[in-house]
Amino acid sequence: MLNRFTIIVLLTWALSCGAQIVKVQTPFFESVYDCQTLCPKQVTWTIRQSDIGTATREPSWKFTNNLLDTLAVATHADFKKSGYDRGHMCPAADRSADLRAMRSTFELVNVAPQAPRLNRGPWKKTESFCRSAALLYGAVEVLTLPIFLDRDTIRVGSHHVAVPHAFIKAAWLPATDSVIGVWFFFNK
């Protein structure tokens, strides 16, 4: 049976890869950002019933770099015509109770290049599952880990943003410390 200890082991493994990493803590999510890959190593957040509302994205919103403006970070343009989506780790809909919270998810420290088929398909389904669980149980904690395998890594955009080979997402109920799902997706 998978438990929180297992998830911490996964996190430790993901962080042991080295590189210049920066921890970014916001009121809405926490990111450990890798300035070498220009991609998060992990993003964690809690979805509460009160976080889910009816706010919607504004069409003019672009992904920004307001949190690490003095360090190397991917840009909105790096993804343009790359063949990859700007995949939210902490999704905007998990912060739909207010526009400021939703807007915070458009920080590039919360984004990784995702194949459109993954981002718009199975990844989106896990996001909906986690929100439904938060509405049912009161709160869900979520961890996402972009995974880089020991092989060639595709890079996109003028800043050469690394494309993860895969992603792990884990979700558990903080009230009972019970894992409700662990998913592994190849990024294709």
What CATH number has the domain bearing residue 9?
Answer: 3.40.570.10
Q: Which residue has the higher pLDDT, 68 or 154?
A: 154
Neighbouring C-beta atoms of residue 126, cutoff 10 Å = 18
User: Percent of the chain, pLDDT > 70?
Assistant: 87
Catalytic residue check, 88: yes
* Maximal C-alpha separation, the chain: 45
Which position among 76, 88, 160, 165 bears the catalytic label? Answer: 88
Average pLDDT over residues 27-53: 95
Query: Using H for helix, E for strand and C for coil, what is the string for 88-152?
Result: ECCCHHHHCCCHHHHHHCCEHHHEEEECHHHHCCHHHHHHHHHHHHHHHHCEEEEEEEEECCCCC
With 0.85 as the threshold, say if the pTM is over it: yes
Supply the pLDDT for residue 73: 79
| 13: pLDDT strictly greater than 60 | no
Pairing of strands 21-25, 85-88: unpaired
Supply the pLDDT for residue 9: 42
Place of tokens 């890798």: 34
Residue range(s) defining the domain that contains residue 15? 4-186
Candidate ranges 9-13, 34-38, 81-85; pick with highest mean pLDDT? 81-85
Number of domains in the chain: 1
Average pLDDT over residues 9-17: 46
Tens of pLDDT, residue by residue over 101-148, are 999 999 999 999 999 999 999 999 999 999 999 999 999 999 999 999
State the burial class of residue 83 (Cβ atoms within 10 Å of its Cβ: 0-12, 13-18, 19+). Answer: exposed
CA 7, 106, 50, 184 torsion: positive or negative?
A: negative
Distinct helix (H) and strand (E) counts, the chain = 4, 10
